[in-house]
């Protein structure tokens, strides 16, 4: 089992914690992480692009010129896709880009992403964040001056002061354990977990027999 030091807000060691092998020390499946990451990014696309077809463009009800005798190709409407101001052929229509991803695939990708962070020594475990009030400046000083973190994903269970204090700090993101996802783990250089967050993540991602 991987063993990590547990530190406090002053970056002083206050203990240690053993992480589960089947959550934080699995073989990293890069292809699985990539597939889930693509699905997660696709799900964020709005899919609201829309162009009008010939039948949807206003006007064009009258034949622009007679069928024969002009020397021009016959035309039935000025809103044809061949004309300026006409409709669009085969243009985009509203759609969903979501990709079906089985829950076990997502859990497996999360285990791989967490294990990669542990192997890269990019995980910090903190006993708890004690913030008496919502103070962005004070929290920023803890991260930058005490913990030496410029870019990090912070995961904790419900901690209102922590969430509100960290939401306006650039390159810092605070998530609850149920919101932990592959994209944010990969995106940020450091992963910071509280002790209770570690326990919650292990409960959530432990393989079922």
CATH of the domain at 182: 3.40.1370.10
CB-based burial, 47-80: b 16+ in 10 Å, e otherwise: eeeeeeebeebeebeeeeeeeeeeeeeebebbbb
At 95 the pLDDT is 94
Q: Which domain holds residue 172?
A: 3-31+99-205
Strand 13-18 with 3-7, pairing: antiparallel
At 62 the pLDDT is 85
12 phi, psi to nearest 5 deg: -105, 140
The string of DSSP codes covering 140-180 is: HHIIIIIS--SSEEEE-SS-HHHHHHHTTSTTEEEE-GGG-
At 180 the pLDDT is 95
For residue 174, being part of any structural domain is answered with yes
pLDDT along the chain (209 residues), means of 10: 89 92 94 96 94 91 90 90 91 94 94 95 93 91 92 92 92 94 95 94 86
Distance CA 208, CA 23 (A): 12
Q: How many domains does one find in the chain?
A: 1
For residue 163, being part of any structural domain is answered with yes
pTM confidence score: 0.82
For residue 83, being part of any structural domain is answered with no
For residue 79, being part of any structural domain is answered with no
For residue 104, being part of any structural domain is answered with yes
Q: Which residues contact 171 (CB under 8 A, 6 or more apart)?
A: 150, 151, 152, 188
Distance CA 19, CA 6 (A): 12
Q: For residues 63 and 76, is the Cβ–Cβ distance under 8 A?
A: yes
For residue 137, being part of any structural domain is answered with yes
At 2 the pLDDT is 83
For residue 87, being part of any structural domain is answered with no
For residue 64, being part of any structural domain is answered with no
At 209 the pLDDT is 62
């Amino acid at each position: 089992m991987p063993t990590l030091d547990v530190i406090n807000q002053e970056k002083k060691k206050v203990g240690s914690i053993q992480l589960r092998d089947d959550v934080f020390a699995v073989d990293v499946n890069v292809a699985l992480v990539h597939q889930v990451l693509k699905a997660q990014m696709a799900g964020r696309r709005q899919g609201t692009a829309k162009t009008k077809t010939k039948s949807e463009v206003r006007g064009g009800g009258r034949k622009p010129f007679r069928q024969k005798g002009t020397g021009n190709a016959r035309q039935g409407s000025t809103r044809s896709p061949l004309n300026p101001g006409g409709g669009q052929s085969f243009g985009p229509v509203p759609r969903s880009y979501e990709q079906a991803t089985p829950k076990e695939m997502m859990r497996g990708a999360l285990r791989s992403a967490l294990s990669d962070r542990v192997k890269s020594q990019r995980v910090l475990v903190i006993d708890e964040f004690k913030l008496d009030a919502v103070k962005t400046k004070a929290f920023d000083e803890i991260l930058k001056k005490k913990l030496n973190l410029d870019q990090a994903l912070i995961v904790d269970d419900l901690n209102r002061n922590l969430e509100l204090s960290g939401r306006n700090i650039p390159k810092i993101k605070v998530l609850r354990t149920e919101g932990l996802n592959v994209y944010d783990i990969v995106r940020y250089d450091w992963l910071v977990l509280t002790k209770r967050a570690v326990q919650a993540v292990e409960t959530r991602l432990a393989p079922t027999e």
